[in-house]
Amino acid sequence: MRRTKAVSALSLVAGATLLLSACSGGDSGSGSTDTNGSSTDVKAMAVGKAETGDSFKLADVKGWDGTVTVGIDDGYSGYNNNTPDTNSSYNTYILTAVIEDSFVLDGNNKVLLNKDILDSADVTTKDPQVVTYKIKPNLKWSDGEAYNCKDFYLAWLAQSGQAKGSDGKNPFNAASTTGYDKIKTATCKDDLTFETDYSEPYLDYKGLFSGVAVLPAHILEKQTGIADITKLAPTGDPAQVTKAGDFWTNKWKGFDKALMPASGPYMIDAFDANQKAVTLVKNPNWAGGKGGPSKIVVRAMEDTKAMATALQNGEIDVAASTQPDATAAQTLKSLSAQGVTYGSAPQLTYEHLDLQFNRIFKDDAIRKAFFESIDRKAIVDKLLKEVQADAAPLNSIVFFQGEEGYTDLYGSKAGLGAEAAAKTLTDAGWAKGADGIFAKGGVRASFKITHNQNARRSQTVEIIISQAKAAGIEVKDETDANFLKGGRVSTGDYDVALFGWSSAPFKSQSRSIYVCKASGGDQNYQNLCDPKIDEAFNAAVKATDETVKTQSYQAADKAIADKYASIPLWQTPSMWAFKGIDRVYMQSYNGVLWNAGEWEQKK
């Protein structure tokens, strides 16, 4: 989900949502290795070949007639990645080559204007804030229809949070409205000029109209009978708004070639739901660089060790995992003689435990005791050290390690030991039963940790079960292969959810996860609600001064920690390896295909 991406983690959506989601020793292919095991050559691959200054476009390199097969951890589920049940990193990893964004992130997470589709995107007025987008002329979707301002307008309409249908409710079920809800009006001045007028300042505007959010308005118009989407205001004809919202929310799931054209260098040609495989082919109407392989097959491979073996056996050409595994890392790093290059880097993704406030964790003491019982360092040392030698527990929810504003808020709360956890429960009136488990008022300190099918997550829970048991807390492991994409996580159907949030480098995207639902917490699946959190995020999002903005996010971070709401485990390292291609870099939000259109065949 997009913190917006849940990284199976789901993904928060780039720009407005989070998505639900380094190495030691060994050779990595060509060149020497750094302390984490990545080839020194890999670092140079983080920059686009035609990237200049603050702008990005695909380099016009020589393409080749061939198929590249890419392995990722989980499968594709929807063309519209901006609804709660489709909002996943793994959709983003595929759609990044299919749907163009207004701003692009390179491998260094630098925010770059996408010059393949925009001439400019500028703040044309500061007070009130107005941002104007100038779209390049003569762009087309893969079905031959014009790519223009109406596509941007639809992205705003759907995620503005302002739409009202026939029943008075918003028919657009957007994963998040953060940022878009600050746009008071959006106007197509002409086919190529899109103007957004903000109700208050919003420094993270570059995160909007990105995250594969700009979908084909002409398809929606044809399917709903709406003559011109730009004439439909959020509070316009309720029947028309309902039609538009229903189509946007429900009809762009799975794959239907007639309804799902591409604006990027590749288009989806086929989707095999049983095999969890997506086939991409060149978009014949793509106006940018013509490089890259003629076909890319993306396969879901939930077992990271099997993914590494598949690369070793020549079944795939790129292994790209956001689920680091020590054994798989060892295998990948051993393949240099086969021409394999290995890389690893910290992602803008954090693995964490979300506590559901509508269940047993209504009780403050059980939340605090659970935190105290978990030794995160022991988990990190066992599961991540082979992948990233300097891996350590993450001690913030809003900031990543090394970022300005990062403060250790959890070192004094988590991992205090079984004795401290037991004392917390005893002082709050819980008593240990004959089975060694605490209980109070007929309720046992017993609950499940739910996660998707993932070996490392199962190992994580196994360790937590032992740690919690020593404190008189019973933890059970619940594995649900569809947990992150079947509606359970987004409806709060869990005691504790174990997954990852992945985000573009815009802190405002965290807001929708942690503010009260009534205040815009579209991705607040754990039913957390605290006025201190809301106030701090609201101050941060509308700040016009960077210092005030950082201080406000720090206040939000502290308020979340003081509530004992979520336990950050670690900043997740990615690991990838490839052969037969000149350079591949796993972008921390968009995966390896972010610049697949400029891959060149390695002889």
**129 falls within a domain:** no
Residue 29's pLDDT band (cuts 50, 70, 90): very low
**593 falls within a domain:** no
- What are the structure tokens assigned to 328, written together? 């798989």
pLDDT > 90 in the chain, percent: 76
Name the residue among 104, 75, 108, 90 with its Cα closest to residue 14.
104
> Which of the two residues, 41 and 501, has the higher pLDDT score?
501
CATH code at 419? 3.10.105.10
Per-residue pLDDT, 504? 66
Residue 40's pLDDT band (cuts 50, 70, 90): low
Per-residue pLDDT, 469? 98
- What are the structure tokens assigned to 602, written together? 């390695």
Backbone angles phi, psi at 338, to 5 degrees: -90, 5
Please give the distance of CA 270 from its chain centroid, rounded to a whole number: 24
Give me the helix-helix angle, 238-250 and 149-159, nearest 10°: 90
Residue 281 has pLDDT above 50, yes or no: yes
Give CA–CA dist 478/392, Å, rounded. Answer: 26
Residue 26 has pLDDT above 80, yes or no: no
Task: Look at 47-51, 356-360, 506-510 and tell me which has the smallest mean pLDDT.
Answer: 506-510
3-class SS of residue 418: helix
**79 falls within a domain:** no
Residue 273: partners with Cβ closer than 8 Å, 6 or more residues away: 75, 254
Q: Which domain holds residue 396?
A: 348-571
Average pLDDT, integer, range 281-291:
97
Alpha helices (runs of H) in 438-573, residue ranges in sequence order: 455-470, 511-514, 531-541, 546-562
Residue 31 has pLDDT above 50, yes or no: no
Average pLDDT, integer, range 66-94:
93
Task: Look at 217-226, 383-392, 416-425 and tell me which has the smallest mean pLDDT.
Answer: 383-392
Task: Look at 58-67, 310-319, 413-422, 503-512 and tell me which has the smallest mean pLDDT.
Answer: 503-512
Per-residue pLDDT, 154? 98
pLDDT tens-place string over residues 440-458: 999 999 999 999 988 889 9
pLDDT > 70 in the chain, percent: 93
Residue 569 has pLDDT above 50, yes or no: yes
Per-residue pLDDT, 251? 97
**434 falls within a domain:** yes
Per-residue pLDDT, 37? 52
Q: Are strands 63-72 and 292-300 parallel, antiparallel or unpaired?
A: parallel
> Which of the two residues, 35 and 399, has the higher pLDDT score?
399
**218 falls within a domain:** no
Helix or strand holding residue 183 (H, E): strand 183-190
> Which of the two residues, 463 and 15, has the higher pLDDT score?
463
Per-residue pLDDT, 309? 97
Which residues lie across from 381 on neighbouring strands? Answer: none
Averaged confidence pLDDT in the chain: 90
Task: Look at 138-147, 233-242, 345-354, 381-390 and tell me which has the smallest mean pLDDT.
Answer: 381-390
Residue 355 has pLDDT above 70, yes or no: yes
Residue 9's pLDDT band (cuts 50, 70, 90): very low
Are the C-beta atoms of 117 and 48 separated by less than 8 Å? no
The owner of tokens 């804030």 is 129
Q: Which long-range contacts (CB under 8 A, 24 or more apart) does 33-37 make?
A: 35/389, 35/390, 36/344, 36/345, 36/388, 36/389, 36/390, 36/573, 37/329, 37/333, 37/342, 37/344, 37/389
Residue 22 has pLDDT above 70, yes or no: no
Domain count, the chain: 1
Residue 221 has pLDDT above 90, yes or no: yes
pLDDT tens-place string over residues 108-151: 989 999 999 999 999 999 989 999 999 999 999 999 999 999 99
* Amino acid at position 597, single letter: G
**197 falls within a domain:** no
Residue 505's pLDDT band (cuts 50, 70, 90): confident
- For residue 146, how many other CB atoms are within 10 A of its CB? 18
**pTM (2 decimals)?**
0.79
Average pLDDT, integer, range 166-182:
93
